Amino acid sequence: ICSVGFFVIQAATNTAEETLELVFVCITRFSASLVASIIWLVASEIFPTSVRSLAMGVGASCGRFGCLIFPFLTDGHFAAGFATAGVIDLVCFICSLFLVEMTGNALSDVIADVAAMAKDPLTAV
């Protein structure tokens, strides 16, 4: 309720451009919250128990590092901060294209594939 009130007050007192910016920030905030929840759920499903806490800890650390750095990127250079975030997102998207498809595979098979890749990354899979 407070967020809706804040949005109405901001929309009434600002220009159309500032209101549009506020709308995009609210959509981004909602999307980030949604994705953060999904990440924890997916990570707990895809990682085996032996490395689950390590993988989730690394993911949480990366998120906290981003939360620490992003205000410095936007301080005085608002567009540059968002451009940097966009480039990071693009790099992450490209990296995700190289992930192993796990549909129809048991988790034990995936662990065996990862172990084979660790021994000889050029000839595995």
* Dist. CA 103–CA 100, nearest whole Å: 9
pLDDT tens, N- to C-terminus, the chain (125 residues): 566 666 676 666 767 777 777 777 778 888 877 877 777 777 777 777 777 788 788 878 887 887 787 777 667 677 777 787 788 889 988 987 877 676 776 766 767 776 776 676 555 54
* Dist. CA 17–CA 54, nearest whole Å: 43
Q: What is the pLDDT of residue 10?
A: 67
In 3D space, the residue among 22, 4, 31 whose CA is nearest the CA of residue 85 turns out to be: 31
Q: What is the pLDDT of residue 119?
A: 72
Each domain of the chain, given as residue ranges in start order, spans 1-46, 48-125
